[in-house]
Structure 1
């Protein structure tokens, strides 16, 4: 009887894959500015919504979404934007020059490196790019990934 119950539990576990949920509250993190200095939750500018975008410089979806974000920047000017990548520092300026010229120099945009590869196990993204919009109090307002995420975020960002 115990063996049958164990087999049933194993069968159910294999059959119904548990899908990880994105954190509903902004998790603790430490990423790095391009000058190598750490940047954590304590460094977030207060009083605004916060958009975290995980991107990869070679990802076509990331390139398209960054271009759309840059084109629609005026709609995000009152949001802190944190663009996080695991890429090496030397390729990051080339990414912005090619796909989102000037976005990385906007006053509310900060590019960060995930040198310790902690974004994925902490935020649980599904694919590149992954976008997390948090309220000023750290509550998840919207999660988007892949193509079309920026356009969907526009509808929520100014509410």
Structure 2
């Protein structure tokens, strides 16, 4: 009986620790917060620079991340479905590293008018948007409210569905 009680106690303790760890993760930003990121020309890019009346897609990535490569291959393959969406590709990495990554894994995005590469030199994206891991993808509506967040490249089709339903409604 003592062994059974000890096992139950251990199981309950583990479940409580797991629940507490899960509860400590901040939720992704439900609306677009104030931020300051940097364009490749060194100019700041802030919330007020975002276009009005457009869907806004943010992806936070790292150039060494395998899952990020997969996500960008998906975005590259489905760029035509995202042409009407303002897309922001955000990283802590160098300009050269980011440019090389995009050229290698998402060449369809290079030079497109709806694509903006932004550097997070002050670690603001993590603080304000609360991504859980790389890659973190956020889709906001024109009112800057979160429609969809995911950090699994395998779920990218959900973004395409959300984009389709919010542009053809």
Q: Is the 8 A contact 1:52 1:132 kept in 2?
A: yes
Structure 2 residue corresponding to 1:119, chosen from 125, 135, 159: 125
* Structure 1 residue 148: Cα displacement: 1.5
* SS in structure 2 at match of 1:158: helix
Contact 2:90 2:117 in 1 (8 A): yes
| Corresponding residue number in structure 1 for 2:160 | 154
CA drift at 1:51: 0.4
Cα deviation code 1:111-159 (max 9, x no counterpart): 0000101111211111110001000011100001022242221110111
Q: Secondary structure at the match of 1:67?
A: helix
Question: 2:89·2:115 contact (CA, 8 Å) conserved in 1?
Answer: yes
| 1:62 alignment partner in structure 2 | 68
Q: CA deviation at 1:49?
A: 0.5
Alignment of 1:104-143 (within 5 A): 104-143=110-149
2: CA distance, partners of 1:118 / 1:48: 23
Which residue is equivalent to 1:41?
A: 47
With normalisation by structure 2, the TM-score equals 0.82
Q: How many residues align?
A: 147
Query: How far has the Cα of 1:104 moved from its partner?
Result: 3.2
Unaligned runs of 5+ in 1: 1-10
SS, match of residue 125 in structure 1: coil
Q: 1:98 aligns with which of 97, 104, 107?
A: 104
What is the alpha-carbon root mean square deviation over aligned residues? 1.4
Aligned equivalent of 1:72: 78
